[in-house]
Amino acid sequence: MVRYRRNVVPGGTFFFTATLYDRRSSALLDHVDKLRGAFRVTRLESPFTVDAIVILPDHLHVIMTLPEGDSDYSGRWRRIKSVFTHRVVASGTSVPHNHRGEFALWQRRFWEHTIRNDTDFERCADYIHFNPVKHGLVASPSDWPYSSLHRYVRAGILPADWGGVGQISGNFGER
């Protein structure tokens, strides 16, 4: 069995990619209200800050900061995925099961990167905000409604036309 090593940094800031099991699915957008609810429930139970986020049809990217002294991001992801899955199932949507009898909505793991400094944070946030363009979903990042880019624009951190031209390079756990 492969042993995954996760970087444990209490109070750290991390970039995550979480992906649906079926990469052709659009469940995250079809049930975006349930996903937002899963984040709210998890944040109430185990606080964290969402510094940047983008929700795409089959995956999402998040920069998350944990409270001082807390390093349990795996528990938070387990809870987000579980609450979302159970709410989708409760809505009457059919979700397949894997060979263990578990719901097979999400890929079992997630991709994580520890944010090292302000430059790294900015690079990851830019990647998040440009991701809908990278996947051909919109021509401009501001056209995608499921992105924290709009919060950054309202706060004056980025201009409304940010990302209208150019490219963001990097793999960030995607194929």
Burial of 24 (0-12, 13-18, 19+ CB in 10 A): exposed
Task: List, for residues 31-49, the tens digit of each pLDDT value.
Answer: 999 999 999 999 999 999 9
The pLDDT tens digits along the chain (175 residues) read 566 677 889 999 999 999 999 999 999 999 999 999 999 999 999 999 999 999 999 999 999 999 999 999 999 999 999 999 999 999 998 888 888 888 888 998 899 999 999 999 999 999 999 999 999 999 999 999 999 999 999 999 999 999 985 455 555 555 5
Residue 81 lies in a domain: yes
Catalytic residues: 146
Residue 31 lies in a domain: yes
Pairwise CA distance, residues 95 & 100, whole Å: 14
141, HSE (Cβ side, Cα atoms, 13 Å) = 28
Q: What is the CATH number of the domain that holds 37?
A: 3.30.70.1290
Could you list the residue range(s) of the whole structural domain that residue 91 is in?
A: 13-117
Pairwise CA distance, residues 96 & 123, whole Å: 36
Domains identified in the chain, total number: 1
Alpha helix ranges (H) inside 24-117: 27-30, 32-45, 73-90
pTM (2 d.p.):
0.89
Taking each helix axis as running N to C, give the angle between helix 73-90 and helix 32-45, from 0 to 180 degrees, rounded to the nearest 10.
140
